[in-house]
Structure 1
Amino acid sequence: MEIRNLTRSYDGRRVVDDVSLSILPGQVTCLLGPSGCGKSTTLRIIAGVEMQDSGEIWVDGKLVCDTVFRVPPERRGIGLMFQDFALFPHLSVADNVGFGLKGSREQKRARAEELLRKVDLLRHIDAFPHELSGGEQQRVALARALAPEPAIMLMDEPFSGLDNRLRDGIRDETLRLLKDENTAVLLVTHEPEEAMRMADEIALMRRGRIVQQGAPYNVYTRPADRAAVSFFSDVNVLKARVDGALAETAFGQFLAPGIADHTEVDIVFRPQHVRIDFDRGGSGPLPTPSDGVAARGVVERARFLGQESLVEFRMDFDGGVLKATVPGVFLPKAGKAMWLTVRRDRCFVFPAQAG
């Protein structure tokens, strides 16, 4: 599927702004962004339940929709999965899966059995939706969406209603089945963890536009701007000014290539890339090329979060708070002085944001 330059406006406000995407068979692309950024509207346009103001949609090299020509939604070969599953309460699981299929009742039953076996629900084939758990209903909805063998699957926050204990397993099972069917998938989500877990490619969306697109590793480790870093995790930000392609801070100098002298910059880094060292009679570790200069801070609060500990420091150099995470249990007492360094290869330098 190829989406070219889609736009859509409401009351003069552009909610989808020049969006372009390509998705190959067997590929999972996540349209990721905060609520209200336009990702669900983009999905509805692709599905054919809403019209774009401009742009085109192509499937297998054939035009499906522009502002003049439009293939009806039911003829696009596109499957849909929504947050609420939308199962028919008066139909059995078999009839839900077979709904909309062509052929005899026996043929529909056979296709339902095939898919329900794959999602481990064959034993519930004659049950009704209200007799199933939320996770089981989600798997029935997936089987129903796959029953017509769509080339493309559109999924709008399909796992958000599930219990956290079930979500990871059902996501993995769904991904396996979609890969087995060689389906091109466009998944809409506002959860970075879900996108990182499921996607072959992430399209990060903000205010109607795709601001960055690529493999999850690249989007995470080579963010386009400060907001892209902070969307995936907590961040620390240092303020500095560039002079001779260097930004001077209490942690030492940071490279700022390509940024003009005298430009105010934000140096952004994640809490897991802060190294903590103990105070040695009022001094910290010696400077190194990889970690720079150590800066002193005092523990304000430490919390154990399960797999890691979060420690917040009040820094001597500016009185600001800096966060660090440590694997396992590390709970220094409030008021304890410690020294912090920042990994240079995990820092991002961007022109400062207004305000």
Structure 2
Amino acid sequence: MPEQMTKSALPSVQAEGHEVTPRLEIRNIRRFFEGRAVVDDVSLTVLPGQVTCLLGPSGCGKSTTLRMIAGVEMQDEGEIYVDGKLICDTLFRVPPERREIGLMFQDFALFPHLSVGDNVAFGLKGPKDQKRARAHELLDRVSLAQYIDDYPHQLSGGEQQRVALARALAPRPKIMLMDEPFSGLDNRLRDGIRDETLSVLKEEDTAVLLVTHEPEEAMRMADEIALMRDGRIVQQGAPYNVYTRPVDKAAVAFFSDVNTLPAQVNGALAETPFGQFLAPGVPDGTDVEIVFRPQHLRIDFDRNGRGPEATARDGVPARGIVQRARFLGNESLVEFRMDFDGSILKATVPNVFLPAEGRAMWLTVPRDRCFVFPR
């Protein structure tokens, strides 16, 4: 038996009051191309029935990480485990076809010369009638059983995506790796098919690792988000925590537009035209940025050159002049040029709010919606 197979099993993870061995565990994996680390010390775990999303911009190492887990590419450092058993390090390697890992990609890659049923059954072994029964079972779960004898070209893009899902689930994989599988779908179909796909995967108790560059998709599907940048995971946690407790300005900006106020810290306070912001633990003289999202900027009317009263929660109001207002369907975007330095701040407001260009209005920044980061 190879030495690598004798390594101790992974520690269990506490989940809902009992210990669960991670279905997938990757430890400190690295991959170098031409001396550059495209995946740099990445570690994560995925439990049975859990959806974890690798979220980040193109080129950050997401897909390379997936390929190493699938076994189609070898890591230069680190280890990969399934159900506590080593499947790959830099010396020992279980071949891809024995890893019990399913794959779904943007390109569904259905075989055009095979029927829908034969596409789903393609990776199965055993008697033909058993394979057809399994194909029918899965096609029924994705509401396509009536098309079992049709061919891929007779289906819509959304239907082909569901066939690809059924094919990937047919061998009952322990883990499903999904690389931007919905990006080629029409926006009107995408939400429904994502929800349908997630429901089927949860019912199968499959551990899912989903790669996407779309924050909305990650927030909609994931139980946990791993935010990647330049080959590294910079933040990991539940979607709510990643969104509301970002590690830096770039993490805030990846999920939405941001407004930024420059400031300098003195006595744990950052002074701005909107008043003071708390900056505990930041040394005096440190240049910082106050970062907040457009939906958190509060707008008030001008009252003969005066704005609302300052409060501890919202700070000091500052005046801005409307530069542009646009209705975006479910919200309005208003851009203001600020009196204090001529900078542009953006505010979003639910429903229709279209103040005239050149109108003076007063803005405040709620303190509990702001982040202070070193500049």
Residue 30 of structure 2 corresponds to residue 7 of structure 1: yes
Aligned to 2:65: 42
Aligned to 2:109: 86
Residue 291 of structure 1: aligned partner: 314
Counterpart AA for 1:62: K
What is the identity percentage for the equivalent residue pairs of Structure 1 and Structure 2? 80
Alpha-carbon separation, structure 1, partners of 2:83 and 2:177: 16
Match of 2:125 in 1: 102
What SS does the corresponding residue of 1:168 show, helix, strand or coil? helix
Distance in 1 between residues matched to 2:284 and 2:178, nearest whole Å = 46
Work out which of the residue numbers 193, 196, 219 in structure 2 matches 1:173.
Answer: 196
Provide structure 2 residue ranges, at least 5 long, that are not aligned to the other structure: 1-23
Question: Are 1:333 and 2:356 matched, yes or no?
Answer: yes
Distance 1:178 1:150 in 2: 10
State the partner residue of 2:143: 120
Q: Distance in 1 between matches of 2:197 and 2:282?
A: 45
Aligned to 1:143: 166
CA distance in 1, matches of 2:103, 2:117: 18
Tell me if 1:263 matches 2:292. Answer: no
User: Could you say which residue in structure 2 is the equivalent of 1:187?
Assistant: 210
Task: Please give the per-residue CA displacement for 1:28-61, whole angstroms capped at 9, x wherever unaligned.
Answer: 0000000000000000000000000000000011
1:291-329 CA-to-partner distances (Å, cap 9, x unmatched) read 000000000000000000000000000100000000000
Q: Distance in 2 between matches of 1:269 and 1:37?
A: 25
Counterpart amino acid of residue 33 in structure 2: Y
| SS of equivalent residue, structure 2 residue 119 | helix
Q: 1:251 maps to what in 2?
A: 274
Matched, 1:216 2:239: yes
| Residues in 1 aligned to 2:280 and 2:231: alpha-carbon distance in whole angstroms | 30
Match of residue 47 from structure 2: 24
Q: Which residue is equivalent to 2:14?
A: none
> Is 1:54 equivalent to 2:77 in the alignment?
yes
- Deviation string 1:324-347 (CA, Å, 9 cap, x unpaired) is 000000000000000000110010
TM-superposed CA distance for 1:100, in Å, is 1.3
Task: Name the CA distance, whole Å, in 2 between partners of 1:111 and 1:326.
Answer: 50
Q: What amino acid sits opposite 1:2 in the alignment?
A: E
Deviations 1:150-177 (Å, cap 9, x if unpaired)? 0100000000000000000000000000
The one-letter amino acid paired with 1:192 is P
TM-score computed with the length of structure 2 as normaliser: 0.94
Aligned counterparts of 1:132 and 1:187: Cα–Cα separation in 2: 25
Using the TM superposition, give the Cα deviation of residue 289 of structure 1 relative to its aligned residue in structure 2, in angstroms: 0.9
Q: Residue 257 of structure 2: which of 207, 229, 234 is its match?
A: 234
Distance (Å, rounded) in 2 between the aligned partners of 1:67 and 1:213: 26
Q: Give the count of matched residue pairs.
A: 352
Moved over 3 A (4+): none
5+ residue gaps, structure 1: none
Q: Partner of 1:318: helix, strand, or coil?
A: coil
